[in-house]
Structure 1
Amino acid sequence: MPTAIAVTSTDLVLPAPDRHTPGAAVLRPPGETDLEGSLAETTALLERHGHLVAVVPPWLPPATVRRLRTVRAILETDRIALLEVDLPPLGTAVLVRQLRQLTVCDFSPGVIASAARLLSHYIYAGALLGSVAKLDRVPVGLKAHARSWSPSAQFAVLAHPEPHLARLGTQAAAGVLPPGPAFATHLTFARGALASDWVAAELAPAWQVQGVMENPLPADSARWWATPKLVEFAAAIPDVSVLYQLVASVRREQCGWCGFELIGDRCGFCAAPLPAPPPEAATAARTRSGS
Protein backbone atom coordinates (compact mmCIF):
# COMPACT_ATOMS: atom_id res chain seq x y z
CA MET A 1 0.00 0.00 0.00
CA PRO A 2 1.20 3.56 -0.69
CA THR A 3 2.46 5.83 2.06
CA ALA A 4 -0.46 7.32 4.00
CA ILE A 5 -0.95 11.09 3.88
CA ALA A 6 -2.78 12.40 6.93
CA VAL A 7 -4.49 15.64 7.94
CA THR A 8 -6.42 16.72 11.02
CA SER A 9 -9.63 17.94 9.34
CA THR A 10 -11.75 16.75 6.42
CA ASP A 11 -11.76 20.16 4.72
CA LEU A 12 -8.08 19.71 3.83
CA VAL A 13 -8.97 16.69 1.68
CA LEU A 14 -9.85 17.97 -1.79
CA PRO A 15 -11.51 15.71 -4.38
CA ALA A 16 -9.07 13.40 -6.16
CA PRO A 17 -8.11 14.66 -9.64
CA ASP A 18 -8.25 11.11 -11.04
CA ARG A 19 -9.24 7.60 -10.01
CA HIS A 20 -5.66 6.66 -9.14
CA THR A 21 -5.11 9.29 -6.45
CA PRO A 22 -5.84 7.91 -2.96
CA GLY A 23 -7.61 9.87 -0.28
CA ALA A 24 -6.06 11.12 2.93
CA ALA A 25 -6.41 9.81 6.45
CA VAL A 26 -8.13 12.22 8.84
CA LEU A 27 -6.65 12.00 12.33
CA ARG A 28 -9.22 12.82 14.98
CA PRO A 29 -8.29 15.76 17.26
CA PRO A 30 -8.15 15.45 21.08
CA GLY A 31 -11.73 16.71 21.41
CA GLU A 32 -13.04 13.73 19.42
CA THR A 33 -10.94 10.89 20.81
CA ASP A 34 -8.70 10.13 23.76
CA LEU A 35 -5.02 9.22 23.59
CA GLU A 36 -5.80 5.51 23.41
CA GLY A 37 -8.03 6.12 20.40
CA SER A 38 -5.33 8.17 18.66
CA LEU A 39 -2.77 5.43 19.28
CA ALA A 40 -5.13 2.83 17.86
CA GLU A 41 -5.93 4.74 14.66
CA THR A 42 -2.26 5.62 14.04
CA THR A 43 -1.14 2.04 14.65
CA ALA A 44 -3.76 0.81 12.18
CA LEU A 45 -2.52 3.25 9.54
CA LEU A 46 1.09 2.14 10.03
CA GLU A 47 0.11 -1.52 9.78
CA ARG A 48 -1.81 -0.86 6.57
CA HIS A 49 0.55 1.59 4.86
CA GLY A 50 3.94 1.16 6.50
CA HIS A 51 4.61 4.90 6.79
CA LEU A 52 2.55 7.95 7.72
CA VAL A 53 3.13 11.53 6.57
CA ALA A 54 0.99 13.97 8.57
CA VAL A 55 0.65 17.61 7.51
CA VAL A 56 0.86 19.99 10.48
CA PRO A 57 -0.17 23.58 9.58
CA PRO A 58 0.73 26.35 12.05
CA TRP A 59 -2.89 27.24 12.86
CA LEU A 60 -3.60 23.89 14.53
CA PRO A 61 -4.56 24.13 18.22
CA PRO A 62 -1.57 23.40 20.48
CA ALA A 63 -3.42 20.41 21.96
CA THR A 64 -3.68 18.80 18.52
CA VAL A 65 0.01 19.27 17.81
CA ARG A 66 0.90 17.87 21.24
CA ARG A 67 -1.28 14.84 20.58
CA LEU A 68 0.49 14.13 17.27
CA ARG A 69 3.91 14.37 18.88
CA THR A 70 2.84 12.31 21.88
CA VAL A 71 1.54 9.51 19.67
CA ARG A 72 4.78 9.42 17.71
CA ALA A 73 6.83 9.37 20.92
CA ILE A 74 4.79 6.61 22.59
CA LEU A 75 4.90 4.39 19.51
CA GLU A 76 8.68 4.92 19.37
CA THR A 77 8.66 4.73 15.61
CA ASP A 78 10.59 6.53 12.91
CA ARG A 79 7.84 5.80 10.38
CA ILE A 80 5.77 8.92 11.19
CA ALA A 81 6.65 12.26 9.57
CA LEU A 82 5.12 15.45 10.95
CA LEU A 83 5.42 18.06 8.21
CA GLU A 84 5.17 21.70 9.26
CA VAL A 85 3.58 23.46 6.29
CA ASP A 86 3.28 27.26 6.33
CA LEU A 87 0.65 27.88 3.64
CA PRO A 88 -2.86 29.35 3.81
CA PRO A 89 -5.59 26.74 4.40
CA LEU A 90 -6.63 26.21 0.78
CA GLY A 91 -3.00 26.18 -0.35
CA THR A 92 -2.33 23.54 2.31
CA ALA A 93 -5.19 21.43 0.96
CA VAL A 94 -3.76 21.71 -2.55
CA LEU A 95 -0.33 20.59 -1.30
CA VAL A 96 -1.94 17.64 0.48
CA ARG A 97 -3.56 16.64 -2.81
CA GLN A 98 -0.21 16.77 -4.58
CA LEU A 99 1.39 14.58 -1.91
CA ARG A 100 -1.47 12.11 -2.33
CA GLN A 101 -0.75 12.05 -6.07
CA LEU A 102 2.93 11.30 -5.44
CA THR A 103 2.16 8.30 -3.22
CA VAL A 104 1.23 6.23 -6.27
CA CYS A 105 4.65 6.92 -7.84
CA ASP A 106 7.81 4.93 -7.17
CA PHE A 107 9.13 7.34 -4.55
CA SER A 108 10.24 6.22 -1.11
CA PRO A 109 8.42 7.62 1.95
CA GLY A 110 11.41 9.86 2.72
CA VAL A 111 11.34 11.46 -0.72
CA ILE A 112 7.57 12.02 -0.51
CA ALA A 113 7.89 13.68 2.90
CA SER A 114 10.76 15.95 1.90
CA ALA A 115 9.07 16.80 -1.43
CA ALA A 116 6.51 18.91 0.46
CA ARG A 117 8.99 21.78 0.85
CA LEU A 118 9.85 21.63 -2.85
CA LEU A 119 6.24 21.55 -4.05
CA SER A 120 5.17 24.39 -1.78
CA HIS A 121 7.44 26.76 -3.73
CA TYR A 122 5.24 26.18 -6.79
CA ILE A 123 1.92 26.94 -5.10
CA TYR A 124 0.49 30.42 -5.57
CA ALA A 125 -1.89 30.98 -2.68
CA GLY A 126 -3.92 34.08 -1.96
CA ALA A 127 -7.37 35.53 -1.51
CA LEU A 128 -9.73 38.27 -2.54
CA LEU A 129 -10.53 40.11 0.69
CA GLY A 130 -13.18 42.61 1.66
CA SER A 131 -10.94 43.98 4.41
CA VAL A 132 -7.26 43.91 5.37
CA ALA A 133 -7.73 45.88 8.58
CA LYS A 134 -6.70 42.93 10.75
CA LEU A 135 -4.53 41.05 8.26
CA ASP A 136 -1.06 40.25 9.61
CA ARG A 137 0.02 37.54 7.16
CA VAL A 138 1.35 40.00 4.56
CA PRO A 139 2.60 43.58 4.87
CA VAL A 140 -0.31 46.06 4.83
CA GLY A 141 0.32 49.79 4.41
CA LEU A 142 -1.55 52.57 6.20
CA LYS A 143 -3.51 53.49 3.07
CA ALA A 144 -4.75 49.95 2.65
CA HIS A 145 -5.77 49.86 6.30
CA ALA A 146 -7.70 53.12 5.87
CA ARG A 147 -9.39 51.96 2.67
CA SER A 148 -10.50 48.74 4.38
CA TRP A 149 -13.23 50.72 6.13
CA SER A 150 -14.96 51.35 2.80
CA PRO A 151 -17.88 48.91 2.47
CA SER A 152 -17.10 48.34 -1.23
CA ALA A 153 -13.35 47.78 -0.84
CA GLN A 154 -11.78 44.66 -2.27
CA PHE A 155 -8.15 43.63 -2.08
CA ALA A 156 -6.22 41.09 -4.12
CA VAL A 157 -3.72 39.47 -1.77
CA LEU A 158 -1.05 36.91 -2.56
CA ALA A 159 0.52 35.32 0.52
CA HIS A 160 2.74 32.75 -1.17
CA PRO A 161 5.31 32.46 -2.72
CA GLU A 162 5.86 36.25 -2.51
CA PRO A 163 3.58 38.66 -0.61
CA HIS A 164 1.56 41.03 -2.79
CA LEU A 165 -1.37 43.30 -1.98
CA ALA A 166 -3.37 45.58 -4.24
CA ARG A 167 -6.72 47.33 -3.94
CA LEU A 168 -9.08 46.57 -6.78
CA GLY A 169 -11.14 49.31 -8.33
CA THR A 170 -14.19 49.11 -10.54
CA GLN A 171 -11.88 48.18 -13.41
CA ALA A 172 -8.92 46.11 -12.21
CA ALA A 173 -5.94 46.85 -14.37
CA ALA A 174 -3.45 44.10 -15.12
CA GLY A 175 -0.80 45.99 -13.23
CA VAL A 176 -2.50 45.47 -9.88
CA LEU A 177 -3.14 41.77 -10.28
CA PRO A 178 -1.01 39.46 -8.16
CA PRO A 179 1.92 38.12 -10.22
CA GLY A 180 1.02 34.65 -11.43
CA PRO A 181 2.96 31.45 -12.09
CA ALA A 182 5.08 31.09 -15.22
CA PHE A 183 4.12 27.44 -15.63
CA ALA A 184 0.92 25.49 -16.28
CA THR A 185 -1.46 25.36 -13.31
CA HIS A 186 -5.03 24.70 -12.29
CA LEU A 187 -6.79 27.18 -10.02
CA THR A 188 -8.76 26.03 -6.99
CA PHE A 189 -10.94 28.58 -5.21
CA ALA A 190 -13.40 28.68 -2.32
CA ARG A 191 -15.98 31.33 -1.47
CA GLY A 192 -16.47 32.88 1.93
CA ALA A 193 -18.91 35.68 2.73
CA LEU A 194 -17.82 37.81 -0.22
CA ALA A 195 -20.03 37.85 -3.30
CA SER A 196 -17.57 38.16 -6.18
CA ASP A 197 -16.69 36.30 -9.37
CA TRP A 198 -13.35 38.11 -9.68
CA VAL A 199 -11.18 35.03 -9.08
CA ALA A 200 -12.79 32.91 -11.81
CA ALA A 201 -13.67 35.77 -14.19
CA GLU A 202 -10.51 37.90 -14.03
CA LEU A 203 -7.67 36.28 -12.12
CA ALA A 204 -7.92 32.87 -13.81
CA PRO A 205 -7.69 34.29 -17.38
CA ALA A 206 -4.90 36.67 -16.38
CA TRP A 207 -2.91 33.78 -14.93
CA GLN A 208 -3.74 31.62 -17.99
CA VAL A 209 -4.67 28.66 -15.84
CA GLN A 210 -5.65 25.43 -17.57
CA GLY A 211 -8.63 24.73 -15.36
CA VAL A 212 -10.71 26.15 -12.53
CA MET A 213 -12.36 24.21 -9.70
CA GLU A 214 -14.49 25.48 -6.82
CA ASN A 215 -14.44 23.78 -3.42
CA PRO A 216 -15.92 24.54 0.01
CA LEU A 217 -13.98 27.04 2.10
CA PRO A 218 -11.77 25.44 4.78
CA ALA A 219 -12.98 26.13 8.30
CA ASP A 220 -9.78 27.95 9.29
CA SER A 221 -9.63 30.28 6.27
CA ALA A 222 -11.56 33.18 7.80
CA ARG A 223 -9.30 33.16 10.84
CA TRP A 224 -6.11 32.84 8.75
CA TRP A 225 -7.11 35.79 6.52
CA ALA A 226 -8.61 37.74 9.47
CA THR A 227 -11.97 38.27 7.75
CA PRO A 228 -14.93 36.13 6.67
CA LYS A 229 -15.36 38.38 3.61
CA LEU A 230 -13.09 36.50 1.25
CA VAL A 231 -12.68 34.24 -1.74
CA GLU A 232 -9.57 32.10 -1.25
CA PHE A 233 -7.59 30.71 -4.19
CA ALA A 234 -4.56 28.56 -4.91
CA ALA A 235 -2.91 27.79 -8.25
CA ALA A 236 -0.73 24.70 -8.50
CA ILE A 237 0.63 22.06 -10.85
CA PRO A 238 -2.15 19.52 -11.42
CA ASP A 239 -0.44 16.89 -13.57
CA VAL A 240 1.11 14.00 -11.63
CA SER A 241 3.61 13.38 -14.45
CA VAL A 242 4.94 16.93 -14.10
CA LEU A 243 5.08 16.57 -10.31
CA TYR A 244 6.96 13.32 -10.77
CA GLN A 245 9.54 14.91 -13.09
CA LEU A 246 9.98 17.85 -10.72
CA VAL A 247 10.69 15.63 -7.72
CA ALA A 248 12.72 13.07 -9.66
CA SER A 249 15.01 15.79 -11.04
CA VAL A 250 16.33 16.64 -7.57
CA ARG A 251 19.35 14.76 -6.27
CA ARG A 252 18.54 12.25 -3.55
CA GLU A 253 20.55 12.01 -0.38
CA GLN A 254 20.43 9.77 2.67
CA CYS A 255 19.65 11.25 6.06
CA GLY A 256 22.62 10.73 8.33
CA TRP A 257 20.36 10.59 11.37
CA CYS A 258 17.42 8.30 10.51
CA GLY A 259 18.57 6.81 7.22
CA PHE A 260 15.59 7.87 5.09
CA GLU A 261 16.04 9.13 1.55
CA LEU A 262 15.51 12.84 1.13
CA ILE A 263 15.60 15.63 -1.41
CA GLY A 264 16.54 19.18 -0.56
CA ASP A 265 18.37 20.12 2.61
CA ARG A 266 16.18 18.63 5.36
CA CYS A 267 14.76 15.21 6.19
CA GLY A 268 10.99 15.03 6.16
CA PHE A 269 10.84 12.40 8.90
CA CYS A 270 13.30 13.54 11.56
CA ALA A 271 13.78 17.16 10.34
CA ALA A 272 17.57 16.77 10.54
CA PRO A 273 19.37 19.12 8.13
CA LEU A 274 21.60 17.69 5.44
CA PRO A 275 25.22 18.19 6.53
CA ALA A 276 27.21 20.69 4.51
CA PRO A 277 29.82 19.07 2.25
CA PRO A 278 33.38 19.08 3.60
CA PRO A 279 35.57 21.99 2.42
CA GLU A 280 37.55 19.73 0.07
CA ALA A 281 34.37 18.52 -1.67
CA ALA A 282 33.03 22.05 -2.01
CA THR A 283 36.33 23.22 -3.52
CA ALA A 284 36.36 20.30 -5.95
CA ALA A 285 32.78 21.06 -7.00
CA ARG A 286 33.64 24.69 -7.72
CA THR A 287 36.70 23.58 -9.72
CA ARG A 288 34.60 21.22 -11.84
CA SER A 289 32.04 23.95 -12.50
CA GLY A 290 34.80 26.37 -13.54
CA SER A 291 33.92 28.98 -10.91
Structure 2
Amino acid sequence: MPTVITVTTDDLALSLEDQVIRTAAALDAYGHVVVLAPADPADPVRRRLHTVRSALEADRMAIVPLTLPPLARTLLGEQLRQLAGTDLGPGVLAGAARLLAYYLHSGALLGSVAKLDRVPVGVGSHVRSLVPGRHFAVLAHPEPYLAEADADHLPPGPGYQTQLALAGTGVDAGWITGPLADAWHSQHLREVPLPPDSARWWGTSRLVEFTAYIADVGMLYQLVTSVRRDTCTWCGLEVIGDQCLFCATRLGERATPAKHAAVPAGRERAVETPRRPQLEPHKR
Protein backbone atom coordinates (compact mmCIF):
# COMPACT_ATOMS: atom_id res chain seq x y z
CA MET A 1 0.00 0.00 0.00
CA PRO A 2 1.78 3.20 -1.12
CA THR A 3 2.60 5.78 1.54
CA VAL A 4 4.31 9.18 1.32
CA ILE A 5 6.43 10.44 4.26
CA THR A 6 6.82 14.19 4.84
CA VAL A 7 8.79 16.24 7.37
CA THR A 8 7.56 19.74 8.23
CA THR A 9 9.56 22.93 8.78
CA ASP A 10 8.59 26.59 8.93
CA ASP A 11 10.01 27.48 5.52
CA LEU A 12 8.00 24.72 3.85
CA ALA A 13 4.80 26.51 4.82
CA LEU A 14 2.57 27.23 1.82
CA SER A 15 -0.68 29.13 1.72
CA LEU A 16 -3.49 27.08 3.22
CA GLU A 17 -5.14 26.65 -0.17
CA ASP A 18 -1.90 25.42 -1.76
CA GLN A 19 -1.26 23.04 1.11
CA VAL A 20 -4.76 21.57 0.82
CA ILE A 21 -4.31 21.09 -2.92
CA ARG A 22 -0.89 19.44 -2.55
CA THR A 23 -2.02 17.20 0.27
CA ALA A 24 -5.08 16.11 -1.69
CA ALA A 25 -2.83 15.32 -4.66
CA ALA A 26 -0.46 13.28 -2.45
CA LEU A 27 -3.38 11.31 -1.02
CA ASP A 28 -4.70 10.61 -4.51
CA ALA A 29 -1.26 9.53 -5.72
CA TYR A 30 -0.03 7.54 -2.73
CA GLY A 31 -3.10 6.56 -0.72
CA HIS A 32 -1.75 7.55 2.71
CA VAL A 33 0.42 10.38 4.07
CA VAL A 34 2.52 10.27 7.26
CA VAL A 35 3.66 13.71 8.48
CA LEU A 36 6.37 14.19 11.13
CA ALA A 37 5.41 17.36 12.96
CA PRO A 38 6.62 19.39 15.98
CA ALA A 39 5.30 18.18 19.31
CA ASP A 40 4.06 21.58 20.52
CA PRO A 41 0.27 21.75 19.90
CA ALA A 42 0.57 25.53 19.52
CA ASP A 43 3.23 25.28 16.82
CA PRO A 44 1.85 27.09 13.73
CA VAL A 45 3.03 24.38 11.34
CA ARG A 46 1.31 21.66 13.33
CA ARG A 47 -1.89 23.71 13.69
CA ARG A 48 -1.93 24.30 9.93
CA LEU A 49 -1.55 20.58 9.30
CA HIS A 50 -4.57 19.79 11.47
CA THR A 51 -6.55 22.44 9.58
CA VAL A 52 -5.62 20.80 6.27
CA ARG A 53 -6.55 17.38 7.60
CA SER A 54 -9.93 18.66 8.79
CA ALA A 55 -10.61 20.46 5.49
CA LEU A 56 -9.97 17.27 3.55
CA GLU A 57 -11.70 15.06 6.14
CA ALA A 58 -8.63 12.92 5.56
CA ASP A 59 -8.44 9.86 7.79
CA ARG A 60 -5.61 8.69 5.51
CA MET A 61 -3.30 11.45 6.82
CA ALA A 62 -1.38 10.72 10.04
CA ILE A 63 0.21 13.62 11.92
CA VAL A 64 2.92 12.25 14.23
CA PRO A 65 4.10 14.78 16.87
CA LEU A 66 7.75 14.43 17.86
CA THR A 67 10.04 16.25 20.29
CA LEU A 68 13.12 15.51 18.17
CA PRO A 69 15.54 18.23 17.08
CA PRO A 70 15.36 19.21 13.39
CA LEU A 71 18.19 17.02 12.10
CA ALA A 72 16.92 13.95 13.94
CA ARG A 73 13.42 14.56 12.59
CA THR A 74 14.82 14.81 9.07
CA LEU A 75 16.80 11.57 9.43
CA LEU A 76 13.77 9.78 10.87
CA GLY A 77 11.82 10.84 7.79
CA GLU A 78 14.62 9.38 5.67
CA GLN A 79 14.42 6.08 7.57
CA LEU A 80 10.66 5.88 7.09
CA ARG A 81 11.02 6.58 3.36
CA GLN A 82 13.38 3.60 3.18
CA LEU A 83 10.87 1.43 5.02
CA ALA A 84 8.03 2.65 2.78
CA GLY A 85 9.65 0.59 0.02
CA THR A 86 9.13 -2.63 2.00
CA ASP A 87 5.94 -4.55 2.73
CA LEU A 88 5.08 -2.46 5.82
CA GLY A 89 1.65 -0.81 5.66
CA PRO A 90 0.89 2.84 6.46
CA GLY A 91 -0.42 2.15 9.97
CA VAL A 92 2.78 0.32 10.89
CA LEU A 93 4.95 3.03 9.30
CA ALA A 94 3.21 5.75 11.30
CA GLY A 95 3.75 3.81 14.53
CA ALA A 96 7.34 3.11 13.53
CA ALA A 97 8.06 6.85 13.71
CA ARG A 98 7.62 6.74 17.48
CA LEU A 99 9.47 3.46 17.86
CA LEU A 100 12.53 4.41 15.79
CA ALA A 101 12.81 7.78 17.53
CA TYR A 102 14.13 5.87 20.56
CA TYR A 103 17.23 4.92 18.57
CA LEU A 104 18.26 8.46 17.63
CA HIS A 105 20.91 10.23 19.70
CA SER A 106 20.73 13.87 18.75
CA GLY A 107 22.42 17.04 19.92
CA ALA A 108 24.48 20.01 18.85
CA LEU A 109 27.74 21.79 19.44
CA LEU A 110 26.73 25.36 20.29
CA GLY A 111 28.61 28.62 20.52
CA SER A 112 26.06 29.95 22.99
CA VAL A 113 23.32 28.58 25.26
CA ALA A 114 21.95 31.99 26.25
CA LYS A 115 18.69 31.39 24.36
CA LEU A 116 18.55 27.60 24.60
CA ASP A 117 15.23 26.41 26.10
CA ARG A 118 15.14 22.78 24.93
CA VAL A 119 17.24 21.39 27.80
CA PRO A 120 17.82 22.71 31.32
CA VAL A 121 20.53 25.38 31.36
CA GLY A 122 22.11 26.48 34.65
CA VAL A 123 23.06 30.05 35.49
CA GLY A 124 26.75 29.16 35.29
CA SER A 125 26.39 27.90 31.72
CA HIS A 126 24.51 31.06 30.76
CA VAL A 127 27.34 33.19 32.14
CA ARG A 128 30.09 31.10 30.52
CA SER A 129 28.33 31.33 27.14
CA LEU A 130 29.03 35.07 27.19
CA VAL A 131 32.78 34.38 27.05
CA PRO A 132 34.03 34.29 23.42
CA GLY A 133 35.41 30.97 22.22
CA ARG A 134 33.39 28.75 24.56
CA HIS A 135 31.65 25.76 22.94
CA PHE A 136 28.91 23.73 24.58
CA ALA A 137 28.04 20.09 23.96
CA VAL A 138 24.29 19.59 24.19
CA LEU A 139 22.30 16.37 23.87
CA ALA A 140 18.54 16.82 23.53
CA HIS A 141 17.51 13.23 22.81
CA PRO A 142 17.09 10.63 24.23
CA GLU A 143 18.23 12.25 27.52
CA PRO A 144 19.22 15.90 28.11
CA TYR A 145 22.89 16.65 28.58
CA LEU A 146 24.81 19.95 28.66
CA ALA A 147 28.46 20.63 29.36
CA GLU A 148 31.37 22.53 27.89
CA ALA A 149 32.81 20.63 24.94
CA ASP A 150 35.67 18.59 26.34
CA ALA A 151 37.46 15.59 24.86
CA ASP A 152 37.57 13.94 28.31
CA HIS A 153 33.88 14.40 29.15
CA LEU A 154 31.43 13.15 26.54
CA PRO A 155 27.67 12.55 26.56
CA PRO A 156 26.47 8.94 26.66
CA GLY A 157 25.92 7.48 23.21
CA PRO A 158 24.28 4.48 21.57
CA GLY A 159 25.41 0.99 22.53
CA TYR A 160 24.86 -0.32 19.01
CA GLN A 161 26.26 0.41 15.57
CA THR A 162 25.28 3.76 14.08
CA GLN A 163 26.38 6.35 11.59
CA LEU A 164 26.89 9.96 12.63
CA ALA A 165 25.37 12.81 10.62
CA LEU A 166 26.38 16.41 11.18
CA ALA A 167 25.07 19.65 9.74
CA GLY A 168 26.13 23.29 9.96
CA THR A 169 29.30 25.37 9.90
CA GLY A 170 28.62 27.83 12.71
CA VAL A 171 31.42 26.46 14.92
CA ASP A 172 34.44 24.19 14.52
CA ALA A 173 33.08 20.63 14.28
CA GLY A 174 36.33 19.00 15.42
CA TRP A 175 34.86 17.89 18.76
CA ILE A 176 32.12 16.00 16.89
CA THR A 177 34.27 14.43 14.17
CA GLY A 178 37.02 13.55 16.64
CA PRO A 179 36.31 12.71 20.31
CA LEU A 180 32.55 12.21 19.98
CA ALA A 181 32.71 10.05 16.85
CA ASP A 182 35.42 7.91 18.46
CA ALA A 183 33.56 7.51 21.75
CA TRP A 184 30.33 6.63 19.98
CA HIS A 185 32.13 4.13 17.68
CA SER A 186 30.55 5.73 14.61
CA GLN A 187 30.89 3.62 11.50
CA HIS A 188 30.66 6.56 9.11
CA LEU A 189 30.58 10.36 9.24
CA ARG A 190 28.08 12.04 6.94
CA GLU A 191 27.74 15.77 6.31
CA VAL A 192 24.23 16.94 5.41
CA PRO A 193 22.57 20.35 4.92
CA LEU A 194 21.50 22.13 8.10
CA PRO A 195 17.69 22.02 8.46
CA PRO A 196 16.15 25.49 8.06
CA ASP A 197 14.64 25.55 11.55
CA SER A 198 17.76 24.40 13.43
CA ALA A 199 18.90 27.88 14.49
CA ARG A 200 15.47 28.69 15.95
CA TRP A 201 15.23 25.28 17.68
CA TRP A 202 18.68 25.57 19.30
CA GLY A 203 18.48 29.31 20.00
CA THR A 204 21.60 30.26 18.02
CA SER A 205 23.04 30.20 14.52
CA ARG A 206 26.47 29.34 15.93
CA LEU A 207 26.03 25.60 15.88
CA VAL A 208 26.77 22.25 14.31
CA GLU A 209 23.95 19.77 14.81
CA PHE A 210 24.64 16.02 15.00
CA THR A 211 22.64 12.80 15.19
CA ALA A 212 23.67 9.17 15.54
CA TYR A 213 21.25 6.97 13.61
CA ILE A 214 20.81 3.46 12.21
CA ALA A 215 21.39 3.57 8.47
CA ASP A 216 20.86 -0.13 7.66
CA VAL A 217 17.31 -0.57 6.37
CA GLY A 218 17.49 -4.28 7.24
CA MET A 219 18.09 -3.43 10.89
CA LEU A 220 15.30 -0.86 10.84
CA TYR A 221 12.93 -3.43 9.34
CA GLN A 222 13.94 -5.96 12.00
CA LEU A 223 13.22 -3.47 14.78
CA VAL A 224 9.78 -2.59 13.43
CA THR A 225 8.70 -6.15 12.66
CA SER A 226 9.80 -7.37 16.11
CA VAL A 227 6.95 -5.36 17.67
CA ARG A 228 3.50 -6.93 17.94
CA ARG A 229 0.93 -5.72 15.42
CA ASP A 230 -2.83 -5.36 15.81
CA THR A 231 -5.65 -4.33 13.51
CA CYS A 232 -7.42 -1.03 14.16
CA THR A 233 -11.03 -1.78 15.01
CA TRP A 234 -12.24 1.37 13.25
CA CYS A 235 -10.32 1.86 10.00
CA GLY A 236 -8.92 -1.66 9.60
CA LEU A 237 -5.25 -0.69 9.24
CA GLU A 238 -2.58 -2.90 10.74
CA VAL A 239 -0.84 -0.84 13.44
CA ILE A 240 1.79 -0.97 16.17
CA GLY A 241 1.38 0.93 19.40
CA ASP A 242 -1.67 1.68 21.52
CA GLN A 243 -3.33 3.99 18.99
CA CYS A 244 -4.02 4.18 15.27
CA LEU A 245 -2.35 7.42 14.16
CA PHE A 246 -4.66 7.78 11.16
CA CYS A 247 -8.12 7.63 12.76
CA ALA A 248 -6.94 8.29 16.37
CA THR A 249 -8.70 5.16 17.68
CA ARG A 250 -7.14 3.67 20.78
CA LEU A 251 -6.99 -0.09 20.52
CA GLY A 252 -9.85 -1.72 22.39
CA GLU A 253 -11.86 1.52 22.85
CA ARG A 254 -14.50 1.05 20.17
CA ALA A 255 -16.71 -1.96 19.71
CA THR A 256 -17.71 -0.91 16.18
CA PRO A 257 -16.37 -3.36 13.56
CA ALA A 258 -13.70 -2.13 11.19
CA LYS A 259 -14.98 -0.45 8.05
CA HIS A 260 -12.51 -2.16 5.75
CA ALA A 261 -11.41 -5.32 7.53
CA ALA A 262 -12.51 -7.59 10.33
CA VAL A 263 -10.37 -8.02 13.40
CA PRO A 264 -8.45 -11.29 13.00
CA ALA A 265 -9.28 -14.00 15.49
CA GLY A 266 -7.12 -13.92 18.58
CA ARG A 267 -6.06 -10.28 18.12
CA GLU A 268 -8.92 -8.52 19.89
CA ARG A 269 -6.82 -7.60 22.91
CA ALA A 270 -5.47 -4.07 23.35
CA VAL A 271 -1.99 -3.55 22.01
CA GLU A 272 0.87 -2.49 24.24
CA THR A 273 2.96 0.61 23.70
CA PRO A 274 5.97 -0.44 21.59
CA ARG A 275 8.94 -1.48 23.63
CA ARG A 276 12.45 -1.03 22.43
CA PRO A 277 13.81 -4.32 21.09
CA GLN A 278 17.28 -5.22 22.26
CA LEU A 279 20.06 -4.53 19.79
CA GLU A 280 23.33 -6.35 19.63
CA PRO A 281 26.05 -4.12 21.11
CA HIS A 282 28.76 -2.93 18.79
CA LYS A 283 31.92 -4.99 18.72
CA ARG A 284 34.92 -3.32 20.25
Fold conserved between structures, TM > 0.5: yes
How far off is 1:272 after superposition?
A: 3.4
- Tell me the equivalent position of 1:250: 227
Choose the corresponding residue for 1:57, options 38, 52, 55.
Answer: 38
Secondary structure (helix, strand or coil) at the match of 2:114 reads coil
* % same residue: 53
How far off is 1:208 after superposition?
A: 0.4
Please tell me whether residue 2 in structure 1 is matched to residue 2 in structure 2. Answer: yes
Alignment of 1:128-277 (within 5 A): 128-169=109-150, 172-173=151-152, 176-275=153-252
How far off is 1:260 after superposition?
A: 2.1
Q: 1:181, 1:257 → 2: CA distance?
A: 38
Q: 2:218, 2:199 → 1: CA distance?
A: 33
How far off is 1:63 after superposition?
A: 4.3
Task: Say which is worse superposed, 261-270 or 146-155, in terms of deviation.
Answer: 261-270
How far off is 1:61 after superposition?
A: 8.1
- Tell me the equivalent position of 1:81: 62
> Which 5+ residue runs of structure 2 have no aligned equivalent?
254-268, 271-284
**Contact 1:89 / 1:221 at 8 angstroms: preserved in 2?**
yes
Choose the corresponding residue for 1:107, options 74, 77, 88.
Answer: 88
Secondary structure (helix, strand or coil) at the match of 1:159 reads strand
Q: 2:166, 2:5 → 1: CA distance?
A: 22
Choose the corresponding residue for 2:27, options 42, 46, 50.
Answer: 46
How far off is 1:140 after superposition?
A: 1.6
Q: What amino acid is the match of 2:61? A: I
Please tell me whether residue 93 in structure 1 is matched to residue 71 in structure 2. Answer: no
Choose the corresponding residue for 1:66, options 47, 56, 59.
Answer: 47
**Contact 1:192 / 1:228 at 8 angstroms: preserved in 2?**
no
Partner deviation per Cα, 1:109-153 (whole Å, 9 max, x = no partner): 100011100000000000011111221111122222221111121
Please give the root-mean-square deviation of Cα atoms over the aligned residues, in Å: 2.3
Q: 2:169, 2:134 → 1: CA distance?
A: 15
Q: 2:52, 2:117 → 1: CA distance?
A: 32
Q: 1:79, 1:270 → 2: CA distance?
A: 8
Q: 1:181, 1:71 → 2: CA distance?
A: 37
How far off is 1:191 after superposition?
A: 1.6
Q: TM-score, normalised by structure 1?
A: 0.81
Partner deviation per Cα, 1:27-46 (whole Å, 9 max, x = no partner): x523xx341x3232222211
> Which 5+ residue runs of structure 1 have no aligned equivalent?
12-27, 283-291
Q: 1:77, 1:10 → 2: CA distance?
A: 22
Shift of the 61–194 alpha-carbon distance from structure 1 to 2, 3 Å rule, reads: farther
Shift of the 43–184 alpha-carbon distance from structure 1 to 2, 3 Å rule, reads: same
Q: 1:59, 1:74 → 2: CA distance?
A: 21
Secondary structure (helix, strand or coil) at the match of 1:188 reads strand
How far off is 1:62 after superposition?
A: 4.5
